Amino acid sequence: MKNYLKNSHFIDKVKQNVKVTGARLADRHLNLAVTGLSGSGKTAFITSLVNQLLEANDSAELPFFSVVREERLYGVKREAQPNLSLRRFEYERAMQALDAQPACWPESTTGISQVRLHIRYKKNRGLSRYFSEDALLILDITDYPGEWLLDLPLLEMDFAQWSQHCDQELLSPERMQLAGEFVTLRDSLDLTAKGDELALKHIASVYTEYLNQCRSAGFQLLQPGRFILPGELAGAPVLDFFPLSDVQVQQTSQRGAVKGSNQNLLHKRYEHYQEQVVKPFYTQHFKRFDRQVVLVDCLSALNNGRAHFNDLQRALNWLLTSFEYGKSNILSRLFDPKIDKLIFAASKADHVTPDQQSNLVKLLDSMLHNARKQMQFDGVATESTAIAAIRASQAGKAVHQGEDIQILQGTDAQGTPIRMFPGDVPAKCPGDNFWLTQGFDFPRFAPPQRLEQQALPHIRMDRVLEFILGDKIR
């Protein structure tokens, strides 16, 4: 009986792989990466994207999504979990939170999850439409913690290089203030002494607390990501390491690591983390993506100040080096997939007045200028936009000093009405003088209350759908 069940499971898996391979050969299968650092709104984005597609023929407002505008969409349905080893994306739970009284935002991502959608539509071009009018596109979306993303560049760094990188980050006065206890313990550690697992575990826990304090303060460029969200690795020795100071790196490089010493243990654990944690995460997920959405919360960084804004910009450019970019063809889609279309989306566009949304897009472009040039050179189609996956405010007008101005209207988490002008958004990365005089305060709105069976309100999700899927469903 056991052999029968085992063989049955194997046959089902082979059938599934054959279906996916056939779909990829026919260009009818798409793997979408929704990328974003902590707080950028990934869970809300995926929830809205699924909701807009499921409700596309009913209550969703998608005028720029061509397959809907041309009335060629037959329907969209959710299919069984594609990878049985991963969690199912909790779309229903997210919708329950948004439908609660009062409504609340879905919980943030804490692990990897997936959702698969089948999109059935009517063809409007190509010879194949003469043989069959309808077609099916399989869309797989993977959700994962933003904190884990920043570990990917560690694959290109040895322990000494990573330590030197982290030591450079501590030059920031804001970070150094949070790192006081860790620095004291790290600098007092005898690296040549026999490995003391309890001492290393304690220092690693203090380093983890430092990372969590940085995260609470609004910093984004934090490694290792599993220290903040360990998942199944909580308590495992693989997380009991930490970066050394530049001085310690120089000293240890001259004399070498003594086998069994504290220094030797730190090196081994870092290398194990690279090979057994970061590399499998990369090879199992990121090397299979075809399209990518990069969500960026520029507004929170502006609210938090210059150090946090600069930190976000460095973090974004850091993580974008970890993806495979370039033009795809039939063979590359099967054996060496590369991301060929990428959209940068400034999230929470409903937290600024409509007249400031164009500046928000320009600010985002300014932050990603160098990384975007390289992608375009590699043949990747890119676009920038400002979105609200779930619109939580309405635009209004008010009179200020005798002049009409645009304002935002909504409610806070306690249900208190908010009516305000949050401020102007800079059209490029701000200089030093900007931070001395900036006067904006971007609010945090509660989710909107909506009617049952009504699609989630949004800003420009139809443009995002068209960019991601438009060329695949014609």
Q: Mapped to the 3 state alphabet, what secondary structure does 102-129 carry?
A: CCCCCCCCCCCEEEEEEEEEECCCCHHH
Same domain, 136 and 162: no
Q: Identify the helix (H) or strand (E) that includes residue 265.
A: helix 262-273
Same domain, 262 and 164: yes
Residue 447 lies in a domain: no
Residue ending a domain, among 264, 281, 298, is 281
Q: Are strands 113-122 and 394-400 parallel, antiparallel or unpaired?
A: unpaired
Distances (CA, A) of 1 to 4, 7, 113, 157: 5, 10, 31, 49
Round the average pLDDT of the chain to a whole number and report it.
86
Same domain, 368 and 231: no
pLDDT value of position 16: 47
Confidence grade of residue 7 (pLDDT, cut at 50, 70, 90): low
Q: Identify the helix (H) or strand (E) that includes residue 409.
A: strand 403-411
Please report, for the domain that includes residue 108, its CATH number.
3.40.50.300
Same domain, 13 and 144: yes
pLDDT value of position 32: 93
Peptide bond just before 102 cis, omega within 30 deg: yes
Residue 49 lies in a domain: yes
Nearest alpha carbon to residue 347 among 33, 30, 34: 34
When pLDDT is averaged across residues 227-244 and rounded to a whole number, the result is: 92
Number of domains in the chain: 2
CB 344 within 8 A of CB 295: no
Q: Look at residue 382 and give its three-state secondary structure.
A: strand
Residue 398 lies in a domain: no
- The number of helix segments (H) and strand segments (E) in the chain equals 20, 11
Q: Identify the helix (H) or strand (E) that includes residue 332.
A: helix 330-335
Residue ending a domain, among 221, 246, 281, is 281
Give residue 387's Cα distance to chain centre: 15
Query: Is 331's pLDDT higher than 50?
Result: no
Which amino acid is present at 72?
R
- Say how far apart CA 420 and CA 22 lie, in whole Å: 53
Residue 18 lies in a domain: yes
Residue 417 lies in a domain: no
Same domain, 260 and 383: no
Same domain, 225 and 296: no
When pLDDT is averaged across residues 167-187 and rounded to a whole number, the result is: 94
When pLDDT is averaged across residues 401-408 and rounded to a whole number, the result is: 85
Same domain, 117 and 198: no
pLDDT value of position 366: 92
Confidence grade of residue 254 (pLDDT, cut at 50, 70, 90): low
Residue ending a domain, among 281, 314, 339, is 281
- Say how far apart CA 466 and CA 376 lie, in whole Å: 20
Residue 462 lies in a domain: yes
Peptide bond just before 417 cis, omega within 30 deg: no
- Say how far apart CA 170 and CA 178 lie, in whole Å: 9
Same domain, 45 and 63: yes
Same domain, 12 and 78: yes
pLDDT value of position 74: 96
Q: Are strands 403-411 and 394-400 parallel, antiparallel or unpaired?
A: antiparallel
pLDDT value of position 125: 63
pLDDT value of position 8: 52
Same domain, 184 and 196: yes
Cβ neighbors of 418 (< 8 A, separation 6 or more) are 393, 408, 409, 410, 411, 412, 443, 445
Same domain, 133 and 166: no
Q: Identify the helix (H) or strand (E) that includes residue 207.
A: helix 197-217
Beta bridge mates, 291 = 32, 341
- Say how far apart CA 172 and CA 301 lie, in whole Å: 16
Query: Is 72's pLDDT higher than 70?
Result: yes
377: domain range?
Answer: 2-149+284-391+455-472
Residue 444 lies in a domain: no
Same domain, 331 and 464: yes
